[in-house]
């Protein structure tokens, strides 16, 4: 094995080490998000927007990154073609899914609540009251708004600066959702770059390319 091949193999290992680190960080972050989400787990209006699944999806992405990175190590040391095929295919899927997930989360707005908020049913009344209680807000556009004669659960004479629920929702998105979306997009973009670099290293290095095509475990 030449020095160039050894250097490039080390580079592939280094990329996987970084991905493992990212996987651990994102998994820990996901578990933390899951624990934090327990306060909002039963909020029906958030469930309707699928915002209760953020922690689960982030944790899954982190674990998937760790598993696929292990395949990268197997490929680098054991030279199994199947490990490389799994590694490349899985990271393409994970990275694109992360970017799509991030964009999906960035697309969430407080306005998405309006239709459910203004629905005239007993369930909608319960959902509005629950949201106002959990987020300590009143109304939607203004804290004096009322729907179906349902007034705020707070005394606005005593708490006149209570946020309207649209503003409370925007704050929740900015603090809890958009940072996760940004992290997902960054991680997905990094994984795409890592895969392109890994493929470039393997398929521009003669020895590593031959290993890919000639290894007896490639079948």
52-71 pLDDT, tens per residue?
A: 677 777 788 888 888 777 76
Does residue 16 sit within a domain? yes
21-53 pLDDT, tens per residue?
A: 878 877 777 777 767 666 676 788 887 777 667
Contacts of 153 (CB under 8 A, 6+ apart): 129, 132, 133, 138
Please give the backbone phi and psi of residue 179, each rounded to the nearest 5 degrees, phi first: -60, -40
Does residue 210 sit within a domain? yes
State the pTM of this model: 0.73
Q: How far apart are CA 203 and CA 200, in angstroms?
A: 5
- Six-digit token string for 168: 């409370």
Does residue 185 sit within a domain? yes
Does residue 34 sit within a domain? yes
- Six-digit token string for 208: 């590593």
Query: 58: domain range?
Result: 3-110+173-214
Domain count, the chain: 1
Contacts of 215 (CB under 8 A, 6+ apart): 79, 80, 81
Contacts of 147 (CB under 8 A, 6+ apart): 117, 118, 120, 124, 125, 128
């Amino acid at each position: 094995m030449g020095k160039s091949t050894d250097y490039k193999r080390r580079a592939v290992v280094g990329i996987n080490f970084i991905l493992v680190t990212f996987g651990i960080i994102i998994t820990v972050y996901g578990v933390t998000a899951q624990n934090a989400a327990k306060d909002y787990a039963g909020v029906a209006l958030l469930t309707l927007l699928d915002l209760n699944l953020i922690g689960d999806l982030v944790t899954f992405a982190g674990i998937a990154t760790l598993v696929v990175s292990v395949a990268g190590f197997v490929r680098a040391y054991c030279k199994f073609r199947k490990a490389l095929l799994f590694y490349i295919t899985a990271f393409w899927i994970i990275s694109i899914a992360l970017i799509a997930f991030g964009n999906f989360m960035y697309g969430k707005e407080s306005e998405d609540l309006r239709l459910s908020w203004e629905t005239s049913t007993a369930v909608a009344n319960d959902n509005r009251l629950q949201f106002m209680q959990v987020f300590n807000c009143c109304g939607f556009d203004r804290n004096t708004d009322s729907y179906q004669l349902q007034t705020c659960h707070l005394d606005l004479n005593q708490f006149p600066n209570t946020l309207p629920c649209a503003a409370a929702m925007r704050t929740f998105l900015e603090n809890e959702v958009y940072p996760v979306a940004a992290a997902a997009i960054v991680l997905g973009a990094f994984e795409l770059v890592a895969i392109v670099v890994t493929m470039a290293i393997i398929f521009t290095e003669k020895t590593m390319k031959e290993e890919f095509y000639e290894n007896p475990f490639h079948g």
